[in-house]
Amino acid sequence: MRLCRFDDNRLGLVDGSVIRDVTGALDLLPRAGYPFPAHDLLIEHLDEILDRAHALSPQARTVAVEAVTLLSPVANPSKILAAPVNFEKHREEARKDSALHGNNPSTFTIHTAGLFLKSVGSLVGPGQGVVIRLPERRTDHEVELVVVIGKRANQVSRRDALSYVAGYAIGLDISIRGTEDRSFRKSPDTYSVVGPWLVTADEIRDPGALDLRIAVNGEVRQQSNTRHFILGVPELIEMASSMYTLHPGDLMFTGTPEGVSPIHAGDHIEATIEQIGTMDVDVRTDEVISPYVMNVSSTGASQ
């Protein structure tokens, strides 16, 4: 099934080019009080939500996918994890280009770099778009398969790992290039785009065999297949859960293939992953330039 969130926090089942509004299914979620749960309630209760949504579906109001503002299918992840340099050809292009590796050779491989965290505040859906934070710095697209964790996972082995997955989505790991830590460069507001919907795990038997691509203004920039992962989804979950407990709704960006390139305000991004779909994302900029930003830029760190 394909579950989306749209407009003013409505819930939808995606049926071809149509969304069935099943927001009423959210009524079965427990009423949360302070302190609020530090994980995503909808994903924690996904099976019940999907059953109720399925029951509501025949009588549901329908709306065209293209007529709504698509939000991130997960509203409240406790963590956004991400894999750096997880495609060999992207590792090669990063090694050759100081603008990409930020003069830090120790981060060339996922084995030495490990995973990194993006701020949960950076999360948006495709309909909300990317707002370029530092127009004077190089900012790139990275298209990635995103894994949505379905249940609490602590020290999970790769053999069992896929049983902890609720589903998959398309992600954009928007990245400012430079020498700062990844968490700093990749965490501005809107720099983690997830959508267009959650495809439940039962529909994707092998996350390591999916074509993925991204086009900017109609020009294909990245095109690969997840069979070229250095570490596959099971290994990434094993690695992540060896370090942190994963919770329902936690998101894992799995790494980007070769072909990363700059984006600018006014660009239109089209990101596609086989068996998930396509998401359209517009890029814009704020008018305000922070004085601190200007200071960072003057170090020349962005090459």
Q: Quick one: 68 or 82, whose CB is closer to Mn ion?
A: 82
User: Smallest distance, Å, CB 104 to Mn ion?
Assistant: 15
Query: How do beta strands 219-225 and 80-82 pair?
Result: unpaired
Q: How is 114-143 classified by DSSP, letter by letter?
A: --EEE-GGGEE-GGG-EEES-TTS-EE--E
Q: Quick one: 39 or 185, whose CB is closer to Mn ion?
A: 185
Q: Quick one: 128 or 256, whose CB is closer to Mn ion?
A: 256
Amino acid in position 101: H
Give the span between the Cα atoms of 245 and 154, in whole angstroms: 5
Q: Quick one: 190 or 200, whose CB is closer to Mn ion?
A: 190
Query: Which residues from 139-178 bind Mn ion, rule CB under 5 A?
Result: 142, 173
Query: Which residues from 175-214 bind Mn ion, rule CB under 5 A?
Result: none
User: Smallest distance, Å, CB 296 to Mn ion?
Assistant: 21
User: Smallest distance, Å, CB 175 to Mn ion?
Assistant: 6
Give the span between the Cα atoms of 34 and 176, in whole angstroms: 35
User: Smallest distance, Å, CB 173 to Mn ion?
Assistant: 3
Phi, psi of 226 (to 5 degrees): -70, -5
Q: Quick one: 142 or 238, whose CB is closer to Mn ion?
A: 142
Query: Which residues from 14-53 bind Mn ion, rule CB under 5 A?
Result: none
Q: Quick one: 40 or 142, whose CB is closer to Mn ion?
A: 142
Q: Which of 292, 289, 240 is nearest to 135 (CA)?
A: 289
Q: Which of 8, 3, 80 is nearest to 42 (CA)?
A: 3
CA distances from 66 to 17, 70, 73, 93, 196 (A): 8, 9, 16, 36, 11
User: Smallest distance, Å, CB 199 to Mn ion?
Assistant: 20
Coil, strand or helix at 243: helix
Number of residues forming the site for Mn ion (CB under 5 A) = 3
Select the residue whose beta carbon is closest to Mn ion and give its number.
173
Q: Quick one: 104 or 290, whose CB is closer to Mn ion?
A: 104
User: One symbol per residue from 115 to 144: x for binding Mn ion (CB under 5 A), - otherwise; what is it?
Assistant: ---------------------------x--
Q: Which two tokens stand for residue 184?
A: 């700093």
User: Smallest distance, Å, CB 100 to Mn ion?
Assistant: 11
User: Smallest distance, Å, CB 186 to Mn ion?
Assistant: 7
The beta-strand segments (E) located in the chain are 2-6, 10-15, 18-21, 62-64, 70-71, 80-82, 116-118, 123-124, 130-132, 139-140, 143-149, 165-173, 175-176, 192-200, 211-216, 219-225, 251-253, 268-273, 277-285
Q: Rule CB under 5 A: choose which of 256, 257, 283, 296 binds Mn ion.
A: 256
Q: Quick one: 6 or 229, whose CB is closer to Mn ion?
A: 229
Name the site residues for Mn ion (rule: CB under 5 A).
Answer: 142, 173, 256
